[in-house]
């Protein structure tokens, strides 16, 4: 029996008991279930305070014969019924009273006196040294009702466009911080009892234990409704025991399948053509490299979406699954419970996929299995931790040794970072002498056709100008991407044909083939007014 059936059974029993009570009291019984949510209310006949106090509700105002009707419960004082009946009689009118159940009374009272919706102030991100905003947000979070505070925090984080919520135990309070556009900002310091509410919600929703003395991972979803629209928020939960309690990080993934699109990554026509050419091949290995939070997963998913047609079998191996995509078979790999990407990859290759995405290459076994798969008729996409495209080769060789098969399988390596975009309020200024010298030296070997629209003789830069809507002068982030197409000359380095071929040597060779490094791409974005020199220095 499900919950609705249980509730219906309880109501049946209550109505039956009320009918028996009416017989004992000598009153007419009224079963309101057929009309309690539709019948028109009778306003202004009784004060709401009296309806609460005396458990009495008007049913019908007097008509031509001045005949009034009221609903009462077994809790209504008999003296109230007698007094009202006498008053109406004295005025030449008539009042009838019907006995209803307690549940019916509650339904009507929710219509007569609905609970007031409390609107709380939106959370604001504090600037450096702005203790007043932190105090104000802390007060708001401490005021929000217990049953709503967790959802309120997540809803506000989504509204701010935050990627993470950090809940951290301090000695006497809980610190909450949010990462917005890649920067971690303090938001509030709240009471310890709020922490228990947050952890209780995480425990039930994300299936993590409050009492565990080990790091845990969980997952939950939440529908966000705002301004007449809604979207699904995927939330990855990580907890770890600390000195004062369990710290938690909630990573928010605002999932919208339409946003997983290569056209939205800001690629040049040449870069997009290179990616299209590589991923259209039936076999090969494509690696995305960069630190955590650099947007590797989004770019990989965008590639998958571009490949997602009815004539291709696509399988992903992920830990955990961050986005669910229609038409793709996605398999979770629980590495915390002994699962491995290599084992999962060997299993799914038996299913004859055209494209396989491996969430991350972390060990030699996974690397060798992915390479083997990429030369036996599969297109393999994966992520790998390295600082740049050229460094990815050095790291892979350190992992698996010099491997001739790797040199023939790897087709494209993409390194990327996310930098904050300047708001429209940005302020233009001439570069200092030191800045101009650095920029000219860094862009000295960039082909002239890729410097179109850039004036290196009179270099102008931009500074952020904070506004009320964009308190830091930035709004959103943009991708800085370095793409290395593996040519014959690059393969020679990977095969070991050239002695002592480190990342610097490989990068120099790739530049001759047209590679623009992350630094160069970042500086070009700076000169176009998309971001600042400080932001490029911080991220790249």
DSSP assignment of 178-242 equals EEETTEEEEEEEE-HHHHHHHHHHHHHHS---TT-SS-EEEEEEEEEEETTEEEEEEEEEEEEEE
- The dihedral of CA 530, 536, 538, 540: what is its sign? positive
Residue 257: Cβ-neighbour burial (10 angstroms; 0-12, 13-18, 19+): middle
Q: What pLDDT does 237 receive?
A: 92
Q: What pLDDT does 117 receive?
A: 63
Q: For residue 196, is it left (φ>0), alpha (ψ between -120 and 50) or beta?
A: alpha
Q: What pLDDT does 381 receive?
A: 97
Q: Could you give the C-alpha distances from 497 to 50, 285, 403, 501, in angstroms and in order?
A: 93, 21, 11, 9
Residue of 528, 513, 454, 441 whose CA lies nearest to 482: 513
Peptide bond into 10 cis (omega under 30): no
pLDDT tens, the chain, 540 aa long: 666 788 888 899 999 999 999 999 999 999 999 898 888 888 888 998 999 999 999 998 877 668 889 999 999 999 999 999 999 888 888 899 999 999 999 999 988 888 766 666 778 877 777 788 888 888 888 888 777 888 999 999 998 989 999 999 998 899 999 999 989 999 999 988 888 888 888 888 998 888 888 999 888 888 888 877 778 888 989 999 999 989 999 999 876 677 788 888 888 888 899 999 999 889 999 999 999 888 898 899 999 999 999 999 999 999 878 778 889 999 998 877 778 899 999 999 999 999 999 999 999 999 999 999 999 989 999 999 999 999 999 899 889 988 889 999 999 999 999 999 999 999 999 999 999 999 999 999 998 888 888 889 999 999 999 888 788 899 889 999 999 999 998 998 888 887 777 888 889 999 988 899 999 999 999 999 999 999 999 998
- Taking the CA atoms of residue 384, residue 389, residue 391 and residue 394 in that order, the dihedral angle to the nearest 10 degrees is 80
DSSP string, 20-58: HHHHHHT--B---TTTTTTSPP-TTSS-HHHHHHHTEEE
Distance in angstroms (rounded) separating the CA atoms of residues 1 and 400: 57
- CA-based max dimension of the chain: 113
The set of residues, in sequence order, having a beta carbon less than 8 Å from that of 332 and lying 6+ positions away, is 318, 319, 320, 321
User: Which 8-state DSSP code applies to residue 449?
Assistant: G
Residue 31: Cβ-neighbour burial (10 angstroms; 0-12, 13-18, 19+): middle
Distance in angstroms (rounded) separating the CA atoms of residues 21 and 29: 9
283: three-class secondary structure by DSSP? coil
Residue 254: Cβ-neighbour burial (10 angstroms; 0-12, 13-18, 19+): middle
Q: What pLDDT does 289 receive?
A: 95
402: three-class secondary structure by DSSP? coil
């Amino acid at each position: 029996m499900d919950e609705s059936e249980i509730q219906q059974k309880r109501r049946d029993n209550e109505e039956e008991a009320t009918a028996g009570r009416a017989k004992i009291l000598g009153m007419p019984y009224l079963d309101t279930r057929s009309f309690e949510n539709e019948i028109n209310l009778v306003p202004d006949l009784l004060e709401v305070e009296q309806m609460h106090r005396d458990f009495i509700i008007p049913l019908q105002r007097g008509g031509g014969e001045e005949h009034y009707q009221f609903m009462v419960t077994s809790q209504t004082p008999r003296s109230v019924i007698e007094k009202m009946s006498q008053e109406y009689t004295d005025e030449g009118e008539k009042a009838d009273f019907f006995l209803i159940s307690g549940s019916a009374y509650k339904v009507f009272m929710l219509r007569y006196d609905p609970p007031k919706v409390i609107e709380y102030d939106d959370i604001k991100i504090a600037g450096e040294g702005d203790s007043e905003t932190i105090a104000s947000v802390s007060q708001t979070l401490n005021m929000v009702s217990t049953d709503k505070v967790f959802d309120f925090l997540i809803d506000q984080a989504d509204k701010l466009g935050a990627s993470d919520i950090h809940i951290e135990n301090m000695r006497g309070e809980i610190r909450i911080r949010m990462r917005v556009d890649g920067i971690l900002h303090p938001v509030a310091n709240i009471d310890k009892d709020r922490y228990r509410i947050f952890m209780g919600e995480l425990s039930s929703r994300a299936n993590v234990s409050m009492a565990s003395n080990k790091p845990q991972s969980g997952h939950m979803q939440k529908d966000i409704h705002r301004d007449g629209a809604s979207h699904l928020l995927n939330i990855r939960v990580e907890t770890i025991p600390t000195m004062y309690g369990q710290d938690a990080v909630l990573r928010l993934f605002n999932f919208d399948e339409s946003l997983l699109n290569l056209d939205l990554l800001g690629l040049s026509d040449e870069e997009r053509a290179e990616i299209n050419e590589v991923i259209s091949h039936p076999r090969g290995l494509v690696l995305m490299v960069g630190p955590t939070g650099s947007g590797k997963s989004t770019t990989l998913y965008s590639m998958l979406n571009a490949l997602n047609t009815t004539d291709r079998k696509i399988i992903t191996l992920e830990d955990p699954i961050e986005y669910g995509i229609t038409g793709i078979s996605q398999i979770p790999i629980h590495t915390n419970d002994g699962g491995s990407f290599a084992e999962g990859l060997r299993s799914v290759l038996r299913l004859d996929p055209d494209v396989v995405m491996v969430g991350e290459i972390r060990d030699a076994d996974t690397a060798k299995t992915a390479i083997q798969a990429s030369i036996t008729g599969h297109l393999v996409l994966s992520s790998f931790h390295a600082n740049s495209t050229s460094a990815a080769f050095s790291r892979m060789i350190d992992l698996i040794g010099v491997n001739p098969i790797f040199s023939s399988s790897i087709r494209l390596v993409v390194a990327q970072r996310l930098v904050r975009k300047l708001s429209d309020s940005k302020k233009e200024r001439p570069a200092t002498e030191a800045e101009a010298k650095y920029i000219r030296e860094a862009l000295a070997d960039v082909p002239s056709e890729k410097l179109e629209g850039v004036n290196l003789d009179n270099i102008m830069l931009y500074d952020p100008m904070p506004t009320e809507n964009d308190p830091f002068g930035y709004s959103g982030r943009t991708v800085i991407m370095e793409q290395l197409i593996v040519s014959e000359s690059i393969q020679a380095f990977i095969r070991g044909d050239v002695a002592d071929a480190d990342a610097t040597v490989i990068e120099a060779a790739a530049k001759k083939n047209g590679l623009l490094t992350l630094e160069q791409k970042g500086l070009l974005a700076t000169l176009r007014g998309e971001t600042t020199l400080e932001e490029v220095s911080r991220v790249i």
